A and B are shown apart, each in its own frame.
Chain A
């Protein structure tokens, strides 16, 4: 029994470790997609955020400064995506693809210039995002270990769920949220009501970059302790998948992120255990399950009607 409690605790711990990067990025993706801009550049924005966060934290020793700078770096590329797609009406997929090449390229070239290696120097524990409640829960019995595993985790994990509630509020309880969603459904109608579609979309794409950057920074400042070229590979796309899975709603995306976060967690747990199951097959399960869940329960996902279509102001 103790063994089971312990294993479950570790799996939850690992899930909570791998979910925040995805969830930050997924919330970012929600902002952009819902306002009508496809953003597959999330991957690149996460990568630049991951690098910037780890680098700034390494040199300043201040994790929160690093975290914010990671977000700002992501936002810079979000701005780039916004200028191309919203201002100039460029193809959103192509611009996103460009950012997925550009941002990791910039990150690695800069890493090589600063650190003489494509990896950053591992962060000191004091420069990482702090762990909360490490004194409150002590190890000892199986249950206290369980509680420690779950609650004594990085501040970023708590933060991401607080931000999720804020994002939900912005989406569904504020004027901006309503306008933003309307811009993704019927921009022309918005314009006729006097909403500046271009400006709204621009703000959303920038928020999207900022949050993707925060997600990347979580990855290198809490989940792991350094940036490597492989830190992010594929995570951005998983975040986008979680958003489509969650039908473009932040709360739905959360479920997707927890599922995929658990998959990364399971892989690590099984990889370090003596279980004689192929870690490869186990890792595959969440993706197969996602497809099955989609077939059985979710089905057609409502894509914002004007998603992917550049909006040219009517004269």
Chain B
């Protein structure tokens, strides 16, 4: 295989091609609704790259997406489709919020407690689903959808408890204590001209990406989990306890989704509003995982890309273009990533023909 062909067939190239097609389809769609795509894309990209402040906003937007993406990618690699990331994210944020409001602890310790609480809550949400699956054979997709809704109403219920609810009229919780926030030091933010929500979250995301890489590629635990995902019967024949692997995988994946919720709360939100509809964080995580081809480094870069586009998209309203065009672009990107193996297939076939 020539070097060029190798590049053409790599996942990276196919993703890049899908992204280009995504923007092309977005442009056609913008034309159809009478908006200049040149103007819109110019606005999109200039708002991303205009200043350190806007770039740091992109990173802030990207942080929960990266961590959720890692969570979903981890589950994909271990053969479970974690469609429950949404619920794990929600219970994680709520656990962090309750600890952040109620527990008197000094800075540094408090955020660690919050994040630990979020990880435990998320892991629990994952393990319950795993337990239902291995104990009673209940379809995990079904129970995850149920647990997403249970998390949704549970969060709304807790946000309404007098101890937690905001003292004002706001339909939200109290703010977590300042000590719980994981924002970067004020002097850094001012010195570098970053946005006010710039936080340690992105470093947590990076650490988790490394952790996922090590677990999956370098440990026997990762090997067992992958083996069960790849072929459950063969793994069991090889002496691996498949049931325990499934629950472990869901616990790790759930813990990460929970942490994503905590970093979002402790970095940007500071409080949780009473939801009126599901916020689809879980699906945004799936998108990040897919762009990154379920590879930790890929997910990190994919999440940054998605975060940047999401931030740039939110600025589109300023020129009267609908920010939802970002969803059209991302949907198209994912669609073409899904069918992109066809391009690869064709290339191979041509080569076969020459022989």
Contacts and interface: CB of A to CB of B under 8 A. Distances in A.
A98 interface: yes
Nearest to B155: A280
Contact of B334 (A89, A94, A280, A294): A94
Contacts of A99: 331, 335
A100 to B, nearest CB: 6
A4 interface: no
> Which has the most chain A C-beta neighbours within 10 Å: B277, B283, B290, B335?
B335
Interface of B: 29, 33-35, 81, 83, 132, 136-139, 141-143, 145-150, 153-154, 156-157, 160, 276-278, 280, 283, 286-287, 290, 322, 324-328, 330-335, 337-339, 341-342
Interface in A95-130: 95, 97-106, 108-110, 112-113, 118
Contacts of A291: 132, 138, 143, 146
B142 A245 contact: yes
A82 to B, nearest CB: 12
A109 B328 contact: yes
Contact of B332 (A93, A102, A108, A234): A102
Contacts of B147: 287
Nearest to B128: A291
A185 interface: no
A230 B322 contact: no
The 6 closest A-B pairs by CB, nearest first: A102-B331, A105-B327, A101-B331, A113-B33, A300-B137, A98-B335
Interface in A72-91: 80, 84, 88-91
15 contacts: A93-B81, A94-B290, A97-B334, A98-B333, A98-B334, A99-B335, A102-B327, A109-B322, A234-B149, A234-B277, A238-B149, A244-B141, A284-B149, A301-B138, A301-B142
Contact of B153 (A88, A93, A284): A284
A3 interface: no
Q: Which secondary structure characterizes the binding site on chain B?
A: helix
Nearest to A102: B331
Contact of A284 (B143, B157, B333): B157
Given A98-B335, A108-B322, A241 B142 contact: yes
Interface residues of A, number: 50
A210 B169 CA distance: 44
A279 to B, nearest CB: 9
A295 interface: yes
Nearest to B29: A109
Contacts of B146: 241, 287-288, 290-291
A294 B142 contact: yes
A104 B331 CA distance: 10
A275 interface: no
Contacts of B148: 234, 237
Nearest to A94: B338
A108 B33 CA distance: 11
B322 A102 contact: no
B337 A109 contact: no
B341 A90 contact: yes
A96 to B, nearest CB: 9
A5 interface: no
